[in-house]
Amino acid sequence: MRAQSVHVRLEDIPSCFEGIIPAAIATVADDGTPNVTYLSVVQRVDDDHVALSRQFFKKTDDNTRVNPYAQVCVIEPETGRLFLLDLVYDHTETEGTLFERMRTKLDAVAAHEGMANVFRLKGTDICRVESVTMLPSASSEGPPRRDVKVERLEEFSQRLASVEDMDELLSTTLRACSELLGFRHAFIMLADETGERLYTVASTGFTSSGAGSEVRLGEGLIGVAASRRQSVRVTHMGRELSYSQAARKSAEKSDELLEQVIPLPRLQSIQSS
């Protein structure tokens, strides 16, 4: 018997929007010519909408102007299941909470490669999701949900509330991150007296403690996140940097001004940050 496609909900496939595996978007020109390219970011907005990053894809933009329909293929990293999202372009945002959140992530990666003046988010395309279809797959079940238990958060808070000095606070925080939340590699930075730099005061899980290492606000992943006071999650560091490095090569050919690459304290072969 031939396997059948299955319709699912956006909320049932959250890991597809974490950016671990790149998504592909297909659009069609007014003469019927198809175009397929990869996307940096596909983000779920609500139960009926997704947001797509608008960067270097001129052909995709041209097609969308004459034909608002598109199809995006996303992949569930844990199982390899493929899902097709049938989309209708709604509007583009160039400001606001959603745009700023997406821009911060891309700017943080760009800053890490010294590409802050070149690798910029032009807009966030909001699309209505007409349907979500799971293609026939050997795996019919999704991965278990990765929820942090409330009890662990309560114990984390209780441990912090019981400390009496800064040294104990730092060590307790790092220990609790590892034992309760599973973050075995972490470091804590504080702002210096000028408010222009962050410096490392404690760490765990790294070969070198990195104590005293500094990051200027606005530079690199950490600096951009700190300057904008937003969390930044990069789930596939290698792929994100490949986008930035490709843009860097293009910029070098056009003699655009590039910033100095800033080395980021990290583990070898890191995949997320």
Contact 98, 50 (CB under 8 A): no
Nearest Cα to Cα of residue 209 among 162, 157, 170: 170
Contact 27, 60 (CB under 8 A): yes
| Fold of the domain built from segment(s) 150-236 | Beta-Lactamase (3.30.450)
Whether residue 63 has pLDDT greater than 50: yes
Domain boundaries along the sequence of the chain: 6-134, 150-236
DSSP state for residue 18 in the 8-state scheme:
S
Contact 164, 120 (CB under 8 A): no
| Fold of the domain built from segment(s) 6-134 | Pnp Oxidase; Chain A (2.30.110)
**Strand ranges in the chain using DSSP code E only, listed in sequence order:** 6-7, 23-28, 34-39, 42-46, 49-54, 69-75, 82-93, 123-134, 186-191, 197-204, 214-216
User: Coil, strand or helix: which one is 99?
Assistant: helix
Cα 160 to Cα 164: distance, rounded to the nearest angstrom: 9
28 pLDDT tier (thresholds 50, 70, 90): very high
Residues paired with 131 in a beta bridge: 86
Tell me the pLDDT tens digit for each residue of 140-152.
676 766 666 778 8
Tell me the pLDDT tens digit for each residue of 194-236.
989 998 898 888 888 788 888 888 887 788 888 888 877 776 5
pTM above 0.75, yes or no: no
Task: Indicate the average pLDDT of the chain.
Answer: 79
Alpha helices in the chain (DSSP H): 58-66, 97-112, 150-161, 166-181, 220-228, 237-253
Across the range 61-88, mean pLDDT stands at 92
Highest mean pLDDT among 40-44, 191-195, 211-215: 191-195
Nearest Cα to Cα of residue 259 among 56, 63, 55, 118: 118
26 pLDDT tier (thresholds 50, 70, 90): very high
Q: Which residue has the higher pLDDT, 191 or 234?
A: 191
